[in-house]
Amino acid sequence: MKIIFSLLYILLTLFACTENKKGKSPFTASENPADTTITHYRFSRPQEEFQPTSINKDTIVDADYSFEEAISGTGAPREIIDQLALFEVFYLSTDGRIHRGQILSNKIIAGDIRTIFRFMMEEGFVVEKAIPIVKYNWNDSLSMNDNNSYSFCYRNTSYSKHATGMAIDINPRFNPVRWKTEKRPNQPERAVSDTTVNGTFHSDHPVVNKFRKLGFRWGHSFTKYYDDHHFEKR
């Protein structure tokens, strides 16, 4: 009889261990997987391996293009198009709500941009919108006037990193181009830089420092003007 009870105990123990392995969760034990707020995620495996497709049911979608739609109408040659990646980003917008947008950039900096957007979310830094510039018929001025953040826009590759998707503009209306010596209007026109406004950069801003750590050059250092919304990587 003792032998039978011993065998039953061993079988029950093995069954319990197997069930625990099947039910293993990617979340740590202290988390509730039903909570889909991105700032509440702590992963037991690298975040790059588990990216939520939405933050919560109230997330506002600013852009939902396919890759073909996002490059439609560009004059870029195929060798540049083949370097690009389209991906989703999440951000706190000016309405105080979480939005989902898209960035079309060079594959080389796609990981860096994802990192930056996660960092901006953690810092509570406001990004008004992030929409591929195809929405503005490839017109940089229209995109800037709408305070849109974007990366790729094909133009002269000799002077613009945007032409290969190796630059990104963040909140152009909060961080306008300001001329250093010439008396020319800010771009966008009538836009001002007010560092007390969330979404505006300054020389020791944590987001600026994060870009620097990732190897980006900030447009504030340009010779003729302060291009404070611009970050590029060689």
pLDDT of the residue at 222: 87
Alpha-carbon dihedral sign for residues 179, 132, 60, 46: negative
Asked whether residue 44 carries a pLDDT value surpassing 60, the answer given is no
pLDDT of the residue at 55: 59
Rg (CA), the chain: 23
- What does pLDDT average to over the chain? 82
Across-strand partners of 137? Answer: none
Q: Tokens 């094909």 — which residue?
A: 154
pLDDT of the residue at 103: 98
Q: Give the DSSP letter of residue 200.
A: -
Can you tell me the mean pLDDT for 118-133? 97
For 37, the 3-state DSSP assignment is coil
Please work out, in degrees rounded to the nearest 5, the angle formed at the alpha carbon of residue 199 by the alpha carbons of 48 and 109. 35
Measured CA to CA, the distance from residue 80 to residue 161 in angstroms comes to: 12
Q: Is the peptide bond before 46 cis (omega within 30 degrees of 0)?
A: no
Q: Token pair of 160, please?
A: 């613009």
Asked whether residue 113 carries a pLDDT value surpassing 60, the answer given is yes
Can you tell me the mean pLDDT for 46-74? 76
Least confident of 14-18, 97-101, 214-218: 14-18
For 204, the 3-state DSSP assignment is coil
